[in-house]
Structure 1
């Protein structure tokens, strides 16, 4: 679906960042460009101007060539230093049409960029089943055909299987992973678990706020209280190792629920 011109998500800063992205992608890919789509919070309707990234997907006709990769790397280096609050908050991937339609985890390394990593070729794992569902069902078209013509159907059981695989990765993390020391990252982990539990139960993929609202009414203690506290953490980058063990216990409990439901 297109993003309406008067959509409140399109703040001047977001619009300027998207204009720069699409213009640069057109120049870098030329006739290999098929479409540009918004995914993530901008597509699901829970975009927070203070904390959300701009999540995007670029679809190409053929895999990105070495010359195109170099041009895209230069583009993202330029975008990262723009005087725009979202300059460091673009998160996206460049995937060719054939790989996107019936995506198999770890089939191929695709160009990707994020707020925590530089433009590079990276593996796209089980969570890309979820991302493909977002693009197909809720994706916002900035350029190109309807995303439903590019992404094959994804069933509720496909979503559940992807969530279970992602939870196995979460459960494999150490008891106190260094990357989760900040409260904002702990909030991300807790709310990702809420979304996973909702998807396992319903076969649907909700926005994180919807998943959190559901969890506050459905989960047993002590997890309900932890979810409630996490809502105050998403803008707080304070390191808080004291809460990390409880967060990881919730992660492991959620992973256990996923295995029990398989």
Structure 2
């Protein structure tokens, strides 16, 4: 029996049959491989927050299991996701998610290992850091249920101050990257700079409001809130979101670095 069409809460009522197809195949594979160990499957990220953009968004999920995934099940899931990445669907290689057991899902503990999938990569066991506090909050407060109980039954409430603390910890990584001026990532196309700027808008929004919002919502908030010159930089960056060819020049890289340093100072 096929799962039902997912009732996306996407701006302007937009729906994508490719996303629905991808989720049906994903959920069916999970059910076959995990059987009774699969408790729930939830959408997070832009699909959950209601600002999915077919041009730039990925498909984020979280699978809750009764107990940790066994070695045998992990090997089967790795093979499944490798095959899934070759599926004839534009989102086949645009999945991000994790398999977390109920005990680990209930309350975040830093550094715990979980089978995790990142965009364009294979499934592998990864130690989760503070950003997964944010992911739990999104699933608990806004997650779309594909299978299982209401996620609020599985995840303890996460107070605003814990969100702010998690964001501040993540800013340390951004500050470290800012100091690595020779990192090749600084030479990535303009779309990457737009991603960085939008992520910083989300960080600032969380620090100010104690909750998480989508990138478009954070950008709109930043445009009405940030001082110059940062407001103008955010505004200009919106033209770069789909530019995967243009390499930024040195003055622009320096400008983005200054913005990053300013944001990290806000979270200190």
Relative to the length of structure 1, the TM-score reads 0.93
The root-mean-square deviation of aligned C-alpha atoms, in Å, is 1.7
- Once residues 259 and 70 of structure 2 are traced to their aligned partners in structure 1, the CA distance between those partners, rounded to angstroms, is 42
Counterpart of 2:97? 92
CA contact (8 A) 2:8 2:47 kept: no
- What is the CA distance between 1:51 and its match in structure 2? 1.1
Aligned runs of 1:154-173 on 2, under 5 Å?
Answer: 154-173=158-177
User: Measured at CA, do residues 138 and 212 of structure 1 come closer, stay the same or move farther in structure 2, by a change above 3 Å?
Assistant: same
- Once residues 87 and 36 of structure 1 are traced to their aligned partners in structure 2, the CA distance between those partners, rounded to angstroms, is 18
Aligned runs of 1:104-183 on 2, under 5 Å?
Answer: 104-106=109-111, 108-173=112-177, 174-180=180-186, 181-183=188-190
- What is the CA distance between 1:99 and its match in structure 2? 0.6
- Once residues 18 and 55 of structure 1 are traced to their aligned partners in structure 2, the CA distance between those partners, rounded to angstroms, is 10
CA contact (8 A) 2:33 2:77 kept: yes
Counterpart of 1:80? 85
CA contact (8 A) 2:6 2:20 kept: no
- What is the CA distance between 1:182 and its match in structure 2? 2.2
CA contact (8 A) 1:111 1:121 kept: yes
**Which deviates further from its counterpart, 49-58 or 197-206?**
197-206
- What is the CA distance between 1:5 and its match in structure 2? 7.4
Counterpart of 2:191? 184
Deviations 1:77-124 (A, max 9, x none): 111111111011011111111011111221x11111122422111121
Counterpart of 1:245? 254
User: Measured at CA, do residues 185 and 216 of structure 1 come closer, stay the same or move farther in structure 2, by a change above 3 Å?
Assistant: same
CA contact (8 A) 1:176 1:244 kept: no
Counterpart of 1:4? 7
Q: Which runs of 4+ in 1 moved over 3 A?
A: 5-10
- Once residues 13 and 88 of structure 1 are traced to their aligned partners in structure 2, the CA distance between those partners, rounded to angstroms, is 12
- Alignment partner of 1:17 is 2:26: no
Deviations 1:104-162 (A, max 9, x none): 221x1111112242211112111111110000000000001100011111011011101
- Once residues 136 and 242 of structure 2 are traced to their aligned partners in structure 1, the CA distance between those partners, rounded to angstroms, is 27
- What is the CA distance between 1:198 and its match in structure 2? 1.1
Deviations 1:214-260 (A, max 9, x none): 1112111111111111111121112325322221221111010111x
Counterpart of 1:257? 266
Unmatched tracts of structure 2, length 5 or more:
none
Question: Aligned residues, how many?
Answer: 257
For the residue of structure 2 that corresponds to 1:58, the secondary structure is: strand
Q: Pick the aligned partner of 1:194 from 188, 192, 201.
A: 201
CA contact (8 A) 1:43 1:140 kept: yes
User: Measured at CA, do residues 42 and 220 of structure 1 come closer, stay the same or move farther in structure 2, by a change above 3 Å?
Assistant: same
User: Measured at CA, do residues 9 and 22 of structure 1 come closer, stay the same or move farther in structure 2, by a change above 3 Å?
Assistant: farther
Deviations 1:11-66 (A, max 9, x none): 11011000000000111111111110000000000100111000000111111111
**Which deviates further from its counterpart, 144-153 or 196-205?**
196-205
